Amino acid sequence: MEQNKNRDKWVEDVLSSTENIKRAEASTYIYPKILHRLKSGDSTYNIIPFKRAAFGIVTVVLLAVLNIFIVFTSQNDPGSKVIQNTESSLNSSGDQLIPSQVNPYLEILNN
């Protein structure tokens, strides 16, 4: 009980610690810096630094080029022909892939 009272009082004290807060004064050097930035054209604040954005764009472009390269070369690659041949042979022997309609268990029972 006493602990809770102390806690509540402490919390209230912390919450009211900014009462009567005095304003901090901004440095007088800020204005010349603003003028300098306006004159030099450096008025944009970079949320994403240019270097990092450029690195990201280059990475994406490289990955895209690499993917396109792999897709096109795999069409002319002998290794990919093997895959194509396998696919075509499977398609031509399509009948074999259909499961048999004969039920061996039923045949045994009938006999």
Q: Is 32 or 79 the residue whose CB approaches another protein more closely?
A: 32
- For 29-46, the DSSP string reads THHHHHHHHHHHT-----
Q: How far is CA 8 from the centre of its chain?
A: 44
Q: Is 55 or 69 the residue whose CB approaches another protein more closely?
A: 55
Instruction: Supply the minimum distance, in Å, between the C-beta of residue 97 and another protein.
Output: 49
Which bin fits 20, alpha (ψ -120 to 50), beta or left (φ > 0)? Answer: left
Task: Please give the residue ranges that form the binding site for another protein (CB under 8 A).
Answer: 6-7, 10-11, 13-15, 17-18, 20-27, 30-31, 33-35, 37-38, 43, 45, 47
